[in-house]
A and B are shown apart, each in its own frame.
Chain A
Amino acid sequence: MSTAVDERLQSALGGLAERAYVDAAGEPVAVVPPANLREAVKVLKASPDTYCDYLSFASAQDMIPRVPRFDGIYQLYSIKHHHWFRLRVPVSDGEALPSLADIHKGADWHERETYDLFGIPYDGHPDLRRILLTDNWHGHPLRKEYDHQFEPVWAPGTNVLQNVAEEGMAGHEAAGEDPAKTIVLNLGPQHPATHGVMRLAVELDGENIVGCVPHIGYLHTGIEKLSEHHNWTQNITHYARMDYLSPMNNELAYCLAVEKLLGVEVPKRAQYIRVLMSELTRIISHLVWLGTHAMDIGALTVFLYCFAEREKILEMYEAIGGQRMMTSYIRIGGVQDDMPESFPGMVEAWEKTFDSQLSIYHGLLTKNPIWRQRTMGIGVMDRDTSLSYGLSGPLARAVGIDWDLRRDNPYSSFEEFEFDIPVEQTGDVYARYLVRMEELRQSRRIVLQALKKIAETEPGTYVAEDYKLAPVPRDGINASIEELIHHFKYWTDGIWVPSGEAYGFIEASKGELGYFVVSDGTAHPQRVKIRGPSFSNLSAFPEMIKGHLIADVIATIGSIDIVLGEVDR
Chain B
Amino acid sequence: MVRERLTKPDSPTAAELLSNPDDGSILLTSINKVIGWFQSNSIWPLTFGLACCAIEMMSLTASRFDLSRFGSEIFRASPRQADLMIVSGRLSWKMAPIARELYEQMPYPKWVIAMGACASCGGVFSTYAIVHGADHILPVDIYVPGCPPRPEALLDAIIKLQKKIKTGTYVAQGLKDGRR
Contacts and interface: CB of A to CB of B under 8 A. Distances in A.
Interface residues of B, number: 38
Contacts, number: 122
Interface in A130-160: 132-134, 141, 146-152, 160
A530 to B, nearest CB: 14
B127 interface: yes
B126 A221 contact: no
Chain A interface, >50% SS class: loop
Interface stretch (A43-51, A185-193, A423-431, A460-468): A185-193
A37 interface: no
A312 to B, nearest CB: 10
A133 B93 CA distance: 9
Contact of B51 (A133, A160, A291, A565): A565
Contacts of A149: 126-128
A310 B56 CA distance: 11
B52 A218 contact: no
B51 A190 contact: no
Interface stretch (A236-244, A361-369, A399-407, A544-552): A236-244
Contacts of B144: none
B124 interface: yes
Contact of A219 (B47, B50, B77): B50
Interface stretch (A266-274, A301-309, A444-452): A301-309
A190 B48 contact: yes
B128 A146 contact: yes
A164 B128 contact: no
Interface in B143-160: 147-148, 150
Contact of B130 (A161, A189, A222, A308): A222
B62 A148 contact: no
B52 A244 contact: yes
B104 to A, nearest CB: 11
11 contacts: A164-B101, A196-B50, A218-B98, A219-B95, A222-B130, A225-B127, A288-B55, A292-B58, A324-B56, A325-B52, A326-B148
Interface of A: 132-134, 141, 146-152, 160-161, 163-164, 189-192, 196-197, 217-223, 225-226, 237-238, 241, 244-245, 288, 291-292, 303-305, 307-308, 310-311, 324-326, 564-565, 568
Interface of B: 47-52, 54-56, 58-59, 62-64, 75, 77, 79, 89-90, 92-98, 101-102, 124-130, 147-148, 150
